[in-house]
Amino acid sequence: MSSQKRITNAYNTARRISFNDNSKFIIFSDCHRGDNSFADEFANNRNIYFHALEHYYKEGFTYCELGDGDELWENTTFESIFEAHQNVFELLRKFYAENRLYRLLGNHDMVYKSEKFVEKNLYSYFNKVTGKDDPLFPEITFSEGLVLEHEETNQEIFMLHGHQADWMNYHGWKFNRFLVRALWRPLQVFGIGDPTSPARNYKELIKVERRTKKWIINNNNLFTITGHTHRPRFPEPGDIAYFNDGSCVHPRSITGLEIENGEISLIKWNISTTEDGTLRVVRLLLEGPQKLIDYQTE
């Protein structure tokens, strides 16, 4: 199956939800939540991420996580990830309980394609205080794609992780997972990164972006948002409508996309120092806001 067919399949099987100009969405991907060890890239930005997500929860946003939320290549169990970042999962549980959480499959959490794995690991968790199982994400499902359909304009916004444009990270993910666990994870302590990732391999990154653009062009410039490459993208109206939310494992910052008031913005959250030396987490607007309708095609 070609990259074009894989992306088409993600679109055809995507979960579809309606929205309007009063809807609010925050889109993150590539959190790579790990076990808080030296190899856990998320650990450096955990406080930034938690603060940002808490803000979006209080402001009534719906959270769309476009894959690679949990690092299940380097880590063999979800339990170790949950215990390392339980406060984050408790916040995600609040989103889910209010029907404000959508999670997509990425190459690093492709095991969530197994309903049995999801039921065993994500439906509930063992509460060590009470000694009982408490609900976490009961009945949660993962899909490859998500399509937002505007109630008035019928505009579609297609979201997917983006590894569909990357043969080895789609069909060969189990082999890549083996390499990461056996070889690259131990080497991370010396600063040697995983070359299978397009985020660290510029040639692969360009190939993934080129294939994704080709699909968008061949599908009437459909408004498309991905992650996977960790490289933020925010096109101008009239250009190829290819957006990327970046990642949550940038050095000392996270990036994402906000949809609010019928507009989209690229944002960054990072730690800033005030004049009195106090550290605080701040939100920075990088691009936009730009009206969604400006990307509408006839």
pLDDT digits 0-9 by tens, 78-98: 999 999 999 999 999 999 999
- The pLDDT value given to residue 128: 82
pTM: 0.92
- The pLDDT value given to residue 197: 57
3-state secondary structure the chain: CCHHHHHHHHHHCCEEEEECCCCEEEEECCCCECCCCCCCHHHHHHHHHHHHHHHHHHCCCEEEECCCCECCCCCCCHHHHHHHCHHHHHHHHHHHHCCCEEEECCHHHHHHHCHHHHHHHHCEEEECCCCEEEECCCCCCCECEEEEEECCCCCEEEEECCHHHCHHHHCCHHHHHHHHHHHHHHHHHHCCCCCCCCCCCHHHHHHHHHHHHHHHHHCCCCEEEECCCCCCECCCCCCCCEEECCCCCECCEEEEEEEECCEEEEEEEEEEECCCCCEEEEEEEEEEEEEHHHHCCC
The neighbour count for residue 294, using CB atoms within 10 Å, is 12
- The pLDDT value given to residue 38: 80
- The pLDDT value given to residue 177: 81
pLDDT digits 0-9 by tens, 101-139: 999 999 999 999 999 999 999 999 988 888 888 999 999
pLDDT digits 0-9 by tens, 184-198: 656 555 555 555 556
Confidence grade of residue 204 (pLDDT, cut at 50, 70, 90):
confident
